[in-house]
């Protein structure tokens, strides 16, 4: 049990039922700080941050939503509402809970259940609010996230390919993370201390491709006022990633083939060969074999690049990762939205699983960022994702299933944030290592077992 679990309790502590709840929570290990009203709660939070708040909602003395907006948005606290069962029929109570509270608990109720709800709210507060103002572990926003078999195979292939220095051809649909895969190979290779240079061949004008890739001498063409090193020279000692290699003009393909054969480049306007030590990773979303058959891509270059191949899977082939990805990016981008936003609704998750994701992970990221901006409630809805018009089958989810899903995602996110370190993840979640290992087995969550 955590030695110090602060809890801010807002309500009339002279009321018998509320007094009993406060005592029960103290027995469960919570350090209860009482505030008689919301104004007093705000003053307390100004002086002493608290991860969890428990507030009694009385329909006869209900605060206006606008009065609570600043308190809920401005403080790093997850709030649980305490309500008498009849009060749940009050529209104002319903709207207030839906807009501003993490969850609610009915009076009278089970103390163990309330303790569990408070623990979960505290864990979510730690995961969510601790991200704001901190540097991410990776500079790129499109982190590789996934625990499905197809992703575990991808990670294994990356480790194998990183151990050698041969060219690599990365295939896959747009938005599946081909550049991320290339970067992961580089970072795990012996060239990790050298530069990683990503070049989109399709984005360079045809008349400038040779100069951009291989450089030029002064006076080589109109406007060449000085010597310029190309991308290959600038990446010496590292890895160059040529994205959309299928769009490289045929005449330039010869130069790339020459480099792969001789590891030398020639600047435009020079006949001198310059040795350059660079590993080439190339990617394409088109079928290069078809391009070879149609004479749009050189067969000899294809075979040179195709020494090692790796495919990034489309999102529709890794359905189980959709919710993990959605929650990962929800927490990553949370600082762009008000703190009242607590998660993704079951309806939104259902539709996300039914959607084909033609734009793959990149589209999921863009839709999640849209939702962070458009959502004006506690949970992201289908409309916030721009998927409200998609037809969906009615899915019945039990309370136990919903709790298990939230628990699994919370644990998975904690492990990712702590680089799979079980001890740190357990500390962040407020549970023991033994409990976390039990939950990992329960939810079949893979982990490296770091301590």
C-beta of residue 181 within 8 angstroms of C-beta of residue 169 = no
- The rounded distance, in Å, linking the Cα atoms of 126 and 326 is 18
Tell whether 345 and 422 lie within a shared domain. Answer: yes
Tell whether 340 and 304 lie within a shared domain. Answer: no
Tell me what pLDDT residue 142 has. 44
List the CATH number of the domain containing 331: 1.10.8.60
C-beta of residue 232 within 8 angstroms of C-beta of residue 264 = no
Q: How far apart are the first and last CA of the chain?
A: 19
Tell whether 256 and 153 lie within a shared domain. Answer: yes
Q: For residue 426, tell me if it sits in a domain.
A: yes
Q: Give 372's contacts (C-beta < 8 A, 6+ positions apart).
A: 330, 333, 334, 336, 337, 341, 380
Tell whether 296 and 182 lie within a shared domain. Answer: yes
Tell whether 96 and 171 lie within a shared domain. Answer: no
Tell whether 295 and 336 lie within a shared domain. Answer: no
Q: For residue 139, tell me if it sits in a domain.
A: no
Tell whether 352 and 260 lie within a shared domain. Answer: no
Tell me what pLDDT residue 129 has. 55
Number of domains in the chain: 3
C-beta of residue 102 within 8 angstroms of C-beta of residue 36 = no
Domain boundary, last residue among 250, 282, 315: 315
Q: For residue 270, tell me if it sits in a domain.
A: yes
List the CATH number of the domain containing 72: 3.40.50.2300
Tell me what pLDDT residue 397 has. 53
Tell whether 375 and 278 lie within a shared domain. Answer: no
Tell me what pLDDT residue 421 has. 85
Beta bridge partners of 344: 380
- The rounded distance, in Å, linking the Cα atoms of 230 and 347 is 50
Q: For residue 55, tell me if it sits in a domain.
A: yes
Domain extent at residue 41? 5-129
Tell whether 253 and 270 lie within a shared domain. Answer: yes
Q: For residue 238, tell me if it sits in a domain.
A: yes
Beta bridge partners of 56: 82
Q: How far is CA 446 from the centre of its chain?
A: 18
Tell whether 322 and 311 lie within a shared domain. Answer: no
Tell whether 165 and 291 lie within a shared domain. Answer: yes
In order along the chain (451 residues), what is the average pLDDT of each group of 10 residues?
75 80 88 86 84 85 71 72 84 79 82 85 69 41 72 91 94 93 94 94 85 80 77 93 92 90 85 90 91 93 92 92 87 73 85 93 94 85 82 52 76 78 86 85 68 54
Tell whether 224 and 338 lie within a shared domain. Answer: no
Peptide bond connecting 108 to the previous residue in cis, omega within 30 degrees of 0 = yes
Q: For residue 172, tell me if it sits in a domain.
A: yes
Tell me what pLDDT residue 392 has. 44
């Amino acid at each position: 049990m955590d030695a110090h679990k602060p809890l801010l309790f807002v309500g009339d502590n002279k009321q018998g039922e509320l007094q009993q709840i406060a005592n029960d929570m103290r027995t469960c290990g919570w350090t209860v700080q009482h505030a008689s009203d919301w104004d007093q709660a705000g003053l307390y939070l100004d002086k002493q941050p608290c991860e969890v708040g428990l507030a009694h909602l009385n329909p006869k003395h209900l605060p206006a939503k606008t009065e609570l907006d600043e308190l809920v948005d401005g403080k790093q606290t997850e709030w649980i509402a305490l309500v008498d069962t009849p009060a749940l029929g009050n529209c104002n109570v319903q709207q207030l809970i839906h807009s501003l509270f993490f969850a609610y608990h009915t009076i009278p109720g089970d103390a163990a259940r309330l303790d569990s709800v408070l623990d979960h709210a505290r864990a979510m507060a730690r995961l969510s609010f601790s991200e704001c103002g901190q540097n991410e572990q990776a500079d790129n926003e499109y982190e590789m996230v996934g625990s499905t078999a197809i992703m575990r195979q991808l990670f294994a292939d990356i480790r194998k390919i990183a151990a050698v220095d041969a060219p690599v051809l990365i295939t896959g649909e747009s938005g599946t993370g081909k550049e991320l895969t290339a970067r992961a190979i580089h970072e795990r290779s012996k060239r990790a201390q050298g530069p990683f240079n990503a070049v989109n061949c399709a984005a360079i004008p045809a008349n400038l491709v040779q100069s951009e890739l291989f450089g030029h001498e002064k006076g080589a063409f109109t406007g060449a006022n000085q010597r310029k090193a190309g991308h290959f020279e600038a990446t010496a000692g590292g890895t160059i990633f040529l994205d959309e290699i299928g769009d490289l003009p045929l005449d330039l393909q010869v130069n790339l083939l020459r480099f792969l054969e001789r590891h030398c480049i020639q600047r435009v306007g020079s006949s001198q060969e310059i040795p350059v030590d660079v590993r080439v990773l190339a990617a394409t979303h088109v079928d290069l074999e078809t391009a070879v058959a149609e004479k749009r891509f050189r067969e000899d270059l294809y075979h040179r690049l195709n020494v090692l191949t790796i495919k990034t899977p489309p999102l529709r082939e890794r359905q189980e990762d959709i919710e993990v990805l959605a929650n990962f990016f929800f927490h990553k981008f949370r600082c762009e939205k008000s703190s009242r936003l607590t998660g993704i609704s079951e309806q939104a998750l259902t539709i996300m699983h039914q959607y084909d994701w033609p734009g793959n992970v990149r589209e999921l990221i863009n839709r999640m960022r849209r939702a962070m901006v458009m959502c004006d409630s506690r949970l992201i809805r289908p409309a916030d994702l721009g998927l409200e018009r998609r037809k969906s089958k009615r899915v019945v989810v039990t309370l136990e299933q919903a709790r298990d899903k939230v628990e699994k995602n919370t644990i998975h996110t904690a492990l990712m944030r702590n680089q799979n370190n079980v001890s740190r993840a357990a500390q962040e979640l407020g549970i023991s290592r033994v409990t976390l290992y039990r939950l990992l087995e329960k939810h079949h969550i893979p982990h490296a077992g770091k301590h």
